[in-house]
Amino acid sequence: MPNTSLAIKQMPTAIEAEAAVIGSIFLEPSSIIIARDSISSEDFYDIKNKLIYKTMVLLSDAGMSVDVTSVVSSLSNNNLLEQAGGMDYLLEISKLSYSASNIETYLDMIYSASMKRKAITTLEALVQKGYEVGEVSKYIDTVERTVFDMSKHRKTTSFETIRSVTERLERNTEARSKQDTQLVGFDTGFPTLNLYTQGFQPGQLIILAARPAMGKSAMALNLAMNISQINDVNVAIFSLEMSNEQLVQRMVAATGSIKLGMIQSGHMDKNSWVRFSPCLERVANMKIFFDDSSDSTIESIRAKCRKLKQENGLGMIVIDYLQLIEYDSDSDKMSQVQKITIISRSLKLMARELEVPIIVLSQLSRGVEQRDDKKPIMSDLRDSGSIEQDADMVLLLYRDEYYNKASTRKGEADLILGKNRSGQTGEIAMIWTGEYMKFREKRSEDEVSE
């Protein structure tokens, strides 16, 4: 027969610590300020202690003294004295020799037990939810998000005082002043882009948009390689259109200035073969993780990134591209604009949750093709829902020679910073070497046309 005594387990509690906190406040009423910053009455397990502590907080908020007499009076007036253990219980606690100097230890014990109880209750609810009919991917995402949220839980109040924010700002500003770089976020490898943006920063949603054939996938790969290598961070790349091998082909081409067509065909000249193996090894050592699942959803992307962050660390995410992300929930009843609006908002929340910048590639509307001036503008994003609103930064890519065969700017591109919450907007002149899938900023020596 199984040991049924093990079937029912005692919920985690800290009853003695609860009494100790109450006793400490009776001994030193000012210690209630420390207590209320760490716990609430809901963190108490014993109903008697919960009612007494809640009454103490209410008295303190009303500017009244917190002692046995005032607590008893308040409990009596609210017909709660008997439920709170009566006069005898209150006198017993007040006479115990607890030291107010140890109150933080008692508070930690109460908080820890409370968090364990909340976790147990939450996880039990998740188990029950698992028996309900529904999509497994959404259920797994709910489980992962719930566990992830619990792991990030901190003992903080709902509000933060402006003084604590200014003090943190002072510390951070002083720390940055001692650094060699003026960047706040990740070095992108493009000096002017760094100047405009102060680097790509955690929590940012960065949209890289263009019409087809402008080179936006290549630009995204260039940024991913630069940020990974320069800042020594892991970058996750979700490619919903190209395979992982195709991406690596482009990375090798850009790294070694080897023509992409040669790598794809395998027919390289002698000099290219000499560069190929060292470049392949250099690319192999980059901290980049690929996922080329063509049916990726926001839920699956978020789950994979959570796992990667937990196991290996995560610095940035690249998604190529927005309009290919699947959205299953009631999709037949929603327009494309509605779907993209929800996906865009979810991506912004994911950037904040995972505390990493997310670069998302996006197609621009066909309206660009109908204008005499083909250079993209922010309004070209409007057909894509709330992208413009959710994005912290919008980068628009344009190559004049694609539309104008007689262009005097052959081999050039414009990286247009259309929106930038962290700094200024503007245009950055780039040199585009299509056969190598490589961008670089235009320098003064490039002014002389060939």
DSSP code of 202?
T
User: Can you give the CATH number for the domain in which 98 is found?
Assistant: 1.10.860.10
Range of the domain at 249: 181-445
With CA atoms as reference, report the closest residue to 380 among 435, 331, 406, 419.
419
Overall number of domains in the chain: 2
Same domain, 112 and 204: no
Same domain, 344 and 240: yes
The pLDDT value recorded for residue 8 is: 57
E-state strands within 144-240:
205-210, 235-239
The model's pTM:
0.64
For 304-341, give the DSSP string: HHHHHHHHT---EEEEE-GGGSB--TTGGGS-HHHHHH
Residue 186 counted as domain residue: yes
Residue 206 counted as domain residue: yes
Range with the lowest mean pLDDT among 46-55, 119-128, 201-210, 329-338? 329-338
Whether 24 has a pLDDT exceeding 60, the answer reads: yes
Same domain, 276 and 425: yes
DSSP helix/strand/coil, 413: strand
Same domain, 353 and 239: yes
| Average pLDDT of the residues of the chain | 83
Residue 152 counted as domain residue: no
> H or E segment at 426?
strand 426-433
Average pLDDT over residues 19-45: 85
The pLDDT value recorded for residue 19 is: 92
Same domain, 60 and 204: no
Same domain, 311 and 429: yes
Average pLDDT over residues 348-374: 84
